[in-house]
Chains A and B, each alone.
Chain A
Amino acid sequence: MADVQAGVPPTEKSLETERAGARPRSDLSRQRLRSAWMFLAPMLLVLALVAGWPLLKTIWFSLTNASLSDLEGAEFVGLRNYYEYVDYGDGEGEYFGLLFDPQWWNAVYNTVYYSVISVVIETVLGLVFALVLNAEFKGRAFVRAAVLIPWAIPTIVSAKMWAWMMNDQFGILNDMLMAIGIISTPVAWTASPDTAMWAVIIVDVWKTTPFMALLILAGLQMVPGDVYEAAKIDGIHPVKVFWKVTLPLIRPAILVAVIFRALDALRVFDLIYVLTPNNTQTKSMSVFAQENLFQFDKFAYGSAASTLLFLVIAFITLFYIKIARLDLGGRGK
């Protein structure tokens, strides 16, 4: 993992020198710069087409009164989908728009709550899994492959599968918990407002922990073995070795894994849509946007929600990079 960070192609460094303009460019660096752009161009073009264009289009629609049945006829209405004050003419008025929509803020709250809890649990469990899988034992290759199964199953399938396992009448989960006496009556996992969000988090943890374990395991394998040997010779307690040696060394790997996972969690859609459809307790930002875009005749409003979703995620990511002092650019080493 450390390699990935340090492994920024040399071209970018030359770009940097170019920008800094500290030294006069040599022919060689100019040539390298040119070929760098040439190699980057196809990717930039594809990115602009598949990511940039839809994003701009969404932002544009969020500033119009577009409806799905008439996208061509969309007219510019300014920020009305975000913020609008309607004066009723009798001294009273009301605020409209996404920023004043309690259901939107409920969706933001749900999403952030879900993301923080599930990512924390997945990181801790993933770390434990990775440490176990990093140890030498018989059949390790098999276990490593087996652990990945939940990650390999499509989310829709695992959500449906868990929905049946959590079914209040026929579900195996209630059956098992009742058999060992933890609960006395069946719990309606996905329906009850107390458990709906936790049902989603449980399934997500089940599904995504292998992904975290895999990324952290890759980090663990970069730690040179002689460090441990040295610690062993010095007679350091293994717990102390973990906190003082292993953890600092795999910190970059963990931070990158967390950001991958957090980005994914913040735009969660399929799991919630299948497991607990239309439940206000679990409605995420993406589900809110989908609902407005396609269920209701509010394409522009849904686009505004998508745009805010993008901004919220961008903001949280930047904030995270800042506080984690994550070195994505590979500088400062």
Chain B
Amino acid sequence: MKFRNMAAAVAAIALISGGAARAEELALVAGSIGKDISELRMQLDEFQKETGHTVKLVEMPASTTDQFGQYRLWLSAGNQDVDVYRTDVIWAPQLAASFVDLTEAMKDEIPKHNPSIIQSQTVDGKLVAFPMYTDAPALYYRTDLLEKYGKEPPKTWAELTETAKEIQDKEREAGNSQLNGFVFQGAPYEGLTCDGLEWVASNGGGQIVSPEGEITINNEKAAAAIDMAKGWVGTIAPEGVLSYKEEEARGVWQTGNAVFMRNWPYAYALSAGEDSAVKGKFDVVPLPAGEGGKSAACLGGWNLAVSKYSQHQDAAIELVKFLGSEKAQKQRAMNSSRLPTIPALYDDKEIAEAQPIVASWGEVVENAVPRPSAATKKQYNEVSKEFWTAVNETLSGRGTAADNLDQLEKRLRRLKRSAWE
């Protein structure tokens, strides 16, 4: 009897170690914003249970600009320690050479996803990264405060300015001295390119660089939009907004110190969380429009790419498929209000119940404005930096929007020379 038990144990061990030999150790790197990391870890644990592969999660700073610098360095050094990168929607043309083509591996999955998102990750016919979730920002507003002063959620930027000013002034008089009218992302980084693009595009000022590669930013409507934003700093927005990224803005908002906030949908789940001061007191609408323009939401979103230097490419592709799957996207939508890239999920009842923002955001995603990353190719980062610098300088009072955009156009011309490359 004893002997037989031992034999069984030996057999069991052999089986386990046999399985372990096939199980591989992967590493996935992702930036940390909101609940992203804890949720990702949960899904990775599920993946581990299902497949036997283990996945190490490498955590990076929240700023996409910081992440990019590090990833580029790793990839150009042929780093084999990281198998899967979570990549920003704008990176595909710049990092295409370092990632594996996923077209073949994902051919059954691709038709389920939003074609324009798949398109944004395809460079010269190569699917560089597979969508994980998409992003299109919202205007968050405080239902309690708007109701108190008999205001409707603003449809135009002018209305927003007026409402924010009135509520902020009256609340401050009433002793709520910490309250700000509006917070957004004003720090000089990629996020400001999104905010700035939204102001400009919603005012009919174009998309910085047109899809054909023409530099269109130096126009009166664009200048008027940025001047309008300049008028917010120090009046309805705190001066510190010039150093706010997503999480800083959310910090002010979620402690109950802002009437309006521009942010991505991830803030929805967090604002509705137990520890939030605005729980049950807020709602979202699409971003306001400019005079005579229409609302413009900057297209964001994150994708998963497999490094061509990975030693475990098959397992890595399996992981990407898992994290981009309908099930994982639904989970992400329900737990942290991350927008799915699968159109069918916008009609999902369970999601609509858990996170109403997702159900109502299908149209916003559909009409979202992409940044000019496809047109400017490998030079996008520099174009973006020139744009956010011009906007940030204007917001902080160094030069008028018209002058700064004029200078921006010259700089972009110098960058472009004869053609974007």
Residues of chain A whose beta carbon lies under 8 Å from any beta carbon of chain B: 68-69, 71, 86, 94, 96, 167-170, 186-188, 190-193, 276-280, 290-291, 294-298
Contact = CB atoms under 8 A, between A and B. Distances in A.
B189 A295 contact: no
Nearest to B413: A94
Closest A-B pairs by Cβ, 4 of them? A168-B240, A191-B243, A191-B242, A188-B240
Interface in B54-72: 63, 65-66, 68-70, 72
Given A186-B240, A188-B240, A192-B396, A280 B389 contact: yes
B28 to A, nearest CB: 21
A297 B239 CA distance: 33
Contacts of A167: 240, 248
B187 A188 contact: no
B241 A191 contact: yes
14 contacts: A69-B75, A167-B240, A170-B251, A191-B243, A193-B398, A277-B65, A278-B188, A279-B188, A280-B188, A280-B389, A294-B73, A296-B382, A297-B379, A297-B382
A69 B417 contact: no
B76 interface: yes
Contacts of A296: 379, 381-382, 385
Contacts of B273: none
Contacts of B398: 193
B187 A295 contact: no
Given A193-B396, A193-B398, A295 B385 contact: yes
Given A278-B187, A278-B188, A295-B69, A191 B396 contact: yes
A71 B76 contact: yes
Contacts of B243: 168, 188, 190-191, 276
Contact of A69 (B98, B240, B248, B385): B98
Interface string B356-388: 000000000000000000000011011001001
A167 B249 CA distance: 12
Nearest to A174: B240
Contacts of B114: none
A187 B417 CA distance: 41
Given A69-B75, A168-B239, A278-B187, 4 more contacts: A279-B392, A280-B188, A296-B381, A298-B382
A277 B76 contact: no
B239 A191 contact: yes
B183 to A, nearest CB: 10
B252 interface: yes
A210 B243 CA distance: 30
B271 interface: no
B414 to A, nearest CB: 7
Contacts of B52: none
Contacts of B94: 297
Contacts of B75: 69
Contacts of B393: 280
A277 B69 contact: no
Contact of A68 (B72, B188, B396, B414): B72
A167 B257 CA distance: 15
Contact of B381 (A187, A190, A295): A295
Contacts of A291: 385
Contacts of B248: 167
Contacts of A187: 239
Interface centre among A167, A193, A297 (most CB of B within 10 A): A297
Contacts of A188: 238-243
A192 B257 contact: no
Contacts of A96: 414
B224 interface: no
A160 B174 CA distance: 35
A269 B10 CA distance: 57
A62 to B, nearest CB: 17
Nearest to B407: A102
B242 A192 contact: yes
B210 to A, nearest CB: 21
B188 A295 contact: no
B97 interface: yes
Contacts of A71: 76
A170 B178 CA distance: 10
B65 A169 contact: no
Contacts of B188: 277-280
Interface string B209-236: 0000000000000000000000000000
Contacts of B385: 278, 291, 295-296
Nearest to A171: B240
B397 interface: yes
B417 A191 contact: no
B71 to A, nearest CB: 9
A159 B65 CA distance: 18
A294 B67 CA distance: 11
Given A69-B97, A278-B188, A294-B69, A192 B239 contact: yes
Given A192-B242, A277-B189, A278-B187, A295 B65 contact: yes
A64 to B, nearest CB: 15
A169 B252 contact: yes
Contacts of A290: 69
A69 B95 CA distance: 8
A69 B76 CA distance: 5
B34 to A, nearest CB: 18
A144 B23 CA distance: 55
B382 A86 contact: no
Contact of A193 (B186, B238, B252, B397): B397
Contacts of B98: 69
A130 to B, nearest CB: 36
A169 B242 CA distance: 13
Nearest to A276: B243
Contacts of A279: 188, 392
Contacts of B388: 278
B187 A94 contact: no
A139 B97 CA distance: 62
Contacts of B257: 169
Interface string B72-94: 11011000000000000000001
Interface centre among B97, B239, B379 (most CB of A within 10 A): B239
A41 to B, nearest CB: 31
A168 B238 CA distance: 8
Given A296-B382, A297-B378, A191 B65 contact: no
Nearest to B192: A278
Contacts of B396: 191-193
Interface in B249-264: 251-252, 257
